[in-house]
Amino acid sequence: MEEMNFNYNSLRARNARRGKVFGKPSMLFVMTLVLIVSAIGGVTLIVMRMAVGWICISLAVIVLMIIYWTKKELITVPVNERRGINGLLSNDVLGAMPRNPHVKDLPAVIAKTNSGKFLHVRYGISKQLLEEVASMLPPEVGPIFQTAKKIQEGTNSEEIHGAILATSILANYPNSEMLLKQMRLEMVDILDGIVWFNYLNGLVRNMNIHRHTGGIGRDLSFGYIPTLQRFGQNISVVGKGAMRTQLHLSEHKEILAKMTEIFSNNGRQNVALVGPDGSGRATIVNAFAEYLMDADSKLPERLKYRQIFRLDAGAILSAGAERGQTEALVMRILGEAYAAKNIIIWLENAELFFEDGTGSVDISNVLLPVLEGGRMRMILTMDRQRFLEISAKKPALANALNKIMVTPANEEETMKVMQDQVPVLEYSHKVSYTIWALKEAYRLSERYVHDLEMPGRALALLDASGAYANQYKLVTAESVQKAIEKTAGVKMQQTATADDKARLLNMEDLIHTRMIDQVQAVKTVSDALRRSAAGVRNEKRPIGTFLFLGPTGVGKTELAKAVSEVYFEGEKNIVRVDLNEFVRAEDVARLIADGAEDSMSLTAQVSKQPFAVVLLDEIEKAHPQVLTTLLQMLDEGILRDSKGREISFRDTIVIATSNAGAEKIREYVNNGVSLDSVKDDFMNWLMSTEMFKPEFLNRFDEVCLFKPLSPADCLAVLDLLIAGVNKTLAPQKIGVVLNQDAKELLVQRGYDPQLGARPMKRIVQKTVENIVAKAMLAGQAGSGMTITVTREMIESELGQ
């Protein structure tokens, strides 16, 4: 316990306080100035035969000693583990610590440290918050230091810095878990933050360490490469002070070792890194380039100082106007590289050299012999899909390459890569990223960015978010949401406002303003959507999946539109697919086609509009293969498109409609049976008919049965239709009203038990709309007037 007592007068504490004073750049500048002036002045005075000059020289010597002491010791007081807490506290903590510290003093100390500021900016652990928590803790600092020591050991930290002390204060607070939950954090997040800070701190320290990269005579044994320098870029040249490329993924480290092994052995000197875009192929090559240039690495001599040149496909293609010229140019470049003896050629997007197309040319007849020969060192990076396509056409190419697969990163690895890249992004955008921005970038990019894989897709979104920082220059989760809205064209939903809650609570009333009857179906859908909005739903599935069954014209599609309007605030947020166009097994390809090939495919539409009602009309007509394809969408909320990209349906409401069993439903209703009471029987009957497989029907959250409309229902539908006509005429200030007997006549003529309300629309068009049009053209209806339609007018229009 004794080692947990803070000693204000310990040597480290004294030095830390001195470092705080002398280590300031302004102070160092003044001291250097004093040193120079005293030295020059002293010598001048002595030369001028004035002995007082020796005092100036003495002063210069003392100042010189202090400057050296400050730079080598006081600025970074070294850790001394044998001295207990006094040997472990970081320099900035020691420098700010009062003589007899109490817990309530610690927040102010933490706020002055770099790590404390780091935790404040990125995790929202502010001085005020720590002060509030500290005020509820016993005043003794011993327990805080004890916990801090455990955290320091647990996070492999070199010293106990401000972030560790802050975490220790929180850990000693009994309700810390609840407090952190309110901030959408867990203790493990804060501990991860400490590791993140340590890592960044280490990077900054390493930047000042001189790298050994071979010196001025390194390349004397290697040839001249004028053509390669013109058409390639040397990625082995690292700028002074540049941060080293870090490989956080264990798989990437293994790949690096494998590449070293391949290039060290006598086999074919090529490596093909095959993986999806964004999986980190270029990062691996960059890390390999730096590794080769590291004089202190334990590389075989035949690999040391080999430089990687990335060939610029565009420049090569534009330089060679004709195919023969391009091939000759490539041969010259490769010849130069081979003769130089220290070059590894990197073909980034190697597919550009193996197939003809826009911005690419097939020069495999030149490259293939070189690759098969295996003497020229080459790295090829290629998209997995393109590699498979090219390999199918050119099997010799696949055989000539040492293929290494690069797979996408998982969440933990992606977070580490993002944490690594944050300083670079912060430097370029002049902003600070919070931990919530990183988490949101992972979550949203996983759902809505389809052209890249992890970690590239999360990084791309994080980069884009830099432009949407708030007024305090902080990139938050909201910044990331704005970025995804702008970059992916995805409209983010906000469901937490009071208006939204009211809308959800009154969903049935809102839907019934545009829909007649079907009370049970509307209630079922509304209940399911309310559960979902309240968070009582599986995030890995769509918001809701519904199967609407019933005769034609009873409101199935109308309910889908109403749901879209109420839930997604707009009838336009609907992706409609008529499955009667997908009756063959081959139609599956059209359903999941890549957006570039077919912008109207289901996957292409949902990737552009992920917050929508997906309306699958006439599902009973689709081929069983099509229905099988849709199972994953209903089950997991994702569907793979033809390129293998996962398209998220997790923010959609999937509604499938079908007329299957319409007669049976009609029969139930005619017999006066409530549809709700026979729903199970109906479902069993439906499965027995083998129209749908049980595993398909069971994937839906709810199956809603729609009853046929009665003449009374049609009268209400008619009112809605007339309201629609009035809405259309509103800009012209003309109104239409129908007499009761006119309405009854229209229902009498328009009602069809087989087709539901559908004929009503046609008859209103044929009669009411025609009457209004004629009245307007004849000048009998003008602005501010109301046209009253009588039974006689309808009869006349119907030709009676």
Partner 1 sequence: MFMVDLLQWWYFRGWGVFFSGLKTKLGDTADLFSIGDMFRTLFKPFRQISAGASGSEALDAKMAQFFDRLISRIVGMFARLTIILAGTVVLILELIFGTILMILWPVVPLLPVCGIVLMIMGVTF
The interface region with partner 1, picked from 60-68, 136-144, 285-293, 611-619 by CB under 8 A, is 60-68
d(CA 485, CA 448): 10
Using CB under 8 A as the binding rule, whether residue 220 contacts partner 1 is answered as yes
x-or-dash string of contact with partner 1, 281-320, rule CB under 8 A:
--------------x-----x---x---------------
Structure tokens at 180: 């952190």
* E-strand stretches of 97-207: none
Using CB under 8 A as the binding rule, whether residue 79 contacts partner 1 is answered as no
Cβ atoms of 505 and 682 within 8 Å: the answer is no
Rank residues 67 and 467 by Cβ distance to partner 1 and give the closer one.
67
d(CA 515, CA 548): 15
Q: What is the DSSP string of 432-451?
A: EE-HHHHHHHHHHHHHH--S
To the nearest whole angstrom, how small is the minimum distance from the Cβ of residue 113 to partner 1?
23
The interface region with partner 1, picked from 69-77, 186-194, 419-427, 535-543 by CB under 8 A, is 69-77
Using CB under 8 A as the binding rule, whether residue 80 contacts partner 1 is answered as no
Nearest Cα to Cα of residue 90 among 77, 108, 104, 72: 77
d(CA 143, CA 90): 18
To the nearest whole angstrom, how small is the minimum distance from the Cβ of residue 55 to partner 1?
6
To the nearest whole angstrom, how small is the minimum distance from the Cβ of residue 155 to partner 1?
28
Rank residues 376 and 789 by Cβ distance to partner 1 and give the closer one.
376
How many residues bind to partner 1 according to rule CB under 8 A?
Answer: 48
Nearest Cα to Cα of residue 679 among 530, 561, 547, 557: 547
Q: Helix or strand or coil: residue 295?
A: coil
**Binds partner 1 by CB under 8 A, chosen from 8, 69, 199, 682:** 69
To the nearest whole angstrom, how small is the minimum distance from the Cβ of residue 133 to partner 1?
36
Rank residues 55 and 136 by Cβ distance to partner 1 and give the closer one.
55
The interface region with partner 1, picked from 136-144, 270-278, 339-347, 749-757 by CB under 8 A, is 339-347
**Binds partner 1 by CB under 8 A, chosen from 2, 82, 99, 215:** 215
Q: Helix or strand or coil: residue 570?
A: coil
Structure tokens at 738: 């129908």
Rank residues 46 and 121 by Cβ distance to partner 1 and give the closer one.
46
To the nearest whole angstrom, how small is the minimum distance from the Cβ of residue 72 to partner 1?
5
Using CB under 8 A as the binding rule, whether residue 206 contacts partner 1 is answered as no
Using CB under 8 A as the binding rule, whether residue 393 contacts partner 1 is answered as no
Q: How far is CA 571 from the centre of its chain?
A: 27
Instruction: Give the list of residues 6+ apart from residue 790 with CB closer than 8 angstroms, or none.
Output: 739, 741, 742
Structure tokens at 617: 């009309």
**Binds partner 1 by CB under 8 A, chosen from 338, 463, 758, 776:** 338
To the nearest whole angstrom, how small is the minimum distance from the Cβ of residue 237 to partner 1?
16
Rank residues 11 and 585 by Cβ distance to partner 1 and give the closer one.
11
**Binds partner 1 by CB under 8 A, chosen from 339, 585, 723, 798:** 339
To the nearest whole angstrom, how small is the minimum distance from the Cβ of residue 372 to partner 1?
18
Rank residues 336 and 440 by Cβ distance to partner 1 and give the closer one.
336
Q: How far is CA 218 from CA 213, 215, 285, 302, 392, in A?
A: 8, 6, 21, 13, 43
Using CB under 8 A as the binding rule, whether residue 218 contacts partner 1 is answered as yes
Q: How far is CA 360 from the centre of its chain?
A: 30
Q: Which DSSP helix (H) or strand (E) runs through 640? A: strand 638-640
d(CA 45, CA 38): 10
Using CB under 8 A as the binding rule, whether residue 221 contacts partner 1 is answered as yes
Rank residues 224 and 427 by Cβ distance to partner 1 and give the closer one.
224
**Binds partner 1 by CB under 8 A, chosen from 10, 15, 526, 629:** 15
d(CA 313, CA 346): 11
Q: Which residues pair with 270 in a beta bridge?
A: 378
Cβ atoms of 94 and 17 within 8 Å: the answer is yes
**Long-range contacts made by residues 419-427, C-beta under 8 angstroms, separation at least 24?**
419/196, 419/199, 419/200, 420/199, 420/246, 420/248, 421/459, 421/462, 422/200, 422/462, 423/200, 423/203, 423/243, 424/243, 425/462, 425/463, 425/466, 426/466
To the nearest whole angstrom, how small is the minimum distance from the Cβ of residue 62 to partner 1?
6
Burial class for 771, CB neighbours closer than 10 Å (0-12, 13-18, 19+)? buried
Whether cis (ω within 30° of 0) applies to the bond prior to 455 is yes
d(CA 175, CA 133): 9
Using CB under 8 A as the binding rule, whether residue 341 contacts partner 1 is answered as yes
d(CA 248, CA 459): 14
Q: How far is CA 49 from the centre of its chain?
A: 75
**Binds partner 1 by CB under 8 A, chosen from 216, 321, 496, 498:** 216
Nearest Cα to Cα of residue 218 among 59, 46, 342: 342
Nearest Cα to Cα of residue 443 among 461, 422, 426: 461
x-or-dash string of contact with partner 1, 414-443, rule CB under 8 A:
------------------------------
Cβ atoms of 696 and 631 within 8 Å: the answer is yes
**Binds partner 1 by CB under 8 A, chosen from 82, 99, 210, 240:** 210
Q: How far is CA 606 from the centre of its chain?
A: 17
d(CA 8, CA 17): 10
Using CB under 8 A as the binding rule, whether residue 405 contacts partner 1 is answered as no
Residue linked to tokens 């919070």: 434
Using CB under 8 A as the binding rule, whether residue 62 contacts partner 1 is answered as yes
Q: How far is CA 236 from CA 203, 232, 255, 544, 783, in A?
A: 19, 12, 18, 52, 78
How many helices (DSSP H) and strands (DSSP E) are in the chain?
Answer: 39, 17
Rank residues 99 and 430 by Cβ distance to partner 1 and give the closer one.
99
Residue type at 495? T
**Binds partner 1 by CB under 8 A, chosen from 224, 359, 711, 782:** 224
The interface region with partner 1, picked from 81-89, 125-133, 182-190, 221-229 by CB under 8 A, is 221-229
Radius of gyration (C-alpha) of the chain in whole angstroms: 37
Cβ atoms of 703 and 683 within 8 Å: the answer is yes
Q: What is the DSSP string of 132-145?
A: HHHTTS-S-SHHHH
**Binds partner 1 by CB under 8 A, chosen from 33, 36, 40, 65:** 65
Using CB under 8 A as the binding rule, whether residue 712 contacts partner 1 is answered as no
Rank residues 217 and 779 by Cβ distance to partner 1 and give the closer one.
217
x-or-dash string of contact with partner 1, 17-56, rule CB under 8 A:
-x---------------------------xxxxxxxxxx-
The interface region with partner 1, picked from 66-74, 461-469, 635-643, 688-696 by CB under 8 A, is 66-74
To the nearest whole angstrom, how small is the minimum distance from the Cβ of residue 47 to partner 1?
6
**Binds partner 1 by CB under 8 A, chosen from 138, 139, 154, 214:** 214
Using CB under 8 A as the binding rule, whether residue 226 contacts partner 1 is answered as no
**Binds partner 1 by CB under 8 A, chosen from 13, 34, 66, 200:** 66
To the nearest whole angstrom, how small is the minimum distance from the Cβ of residue 338 to partner 1?
7
Rank residues 36 and 55 by Cβ distance to partner 1 and give the closer one.
55
Using CB under 8 A as the binding rule, whether residue 244 contacts partner 1 is answered as no
Using CB under 8 A as the binding rule, whether residue 99 contacts partner 1 is answered as no
Using CB under 8 A as the binding rule, whether residue 142 contacts partner 1 is answered as no
179, 183, 187, 190: CA torsion to nearest 10:
-130
Rank residues 124 and 223 by Cβ distance to partner 1 and give the closer one.
223
Question: Using CB under 8 A as the criterion, which residues of the chain lie in contact with partner 1 when the complex forms?
Answer: 11, 14-15, 18, 46-55, 57-59, 61-62, 64-66, 68-69, 72-73, 210, 212-218, 220-224, 295, 301, 305, 335-336, 338-341
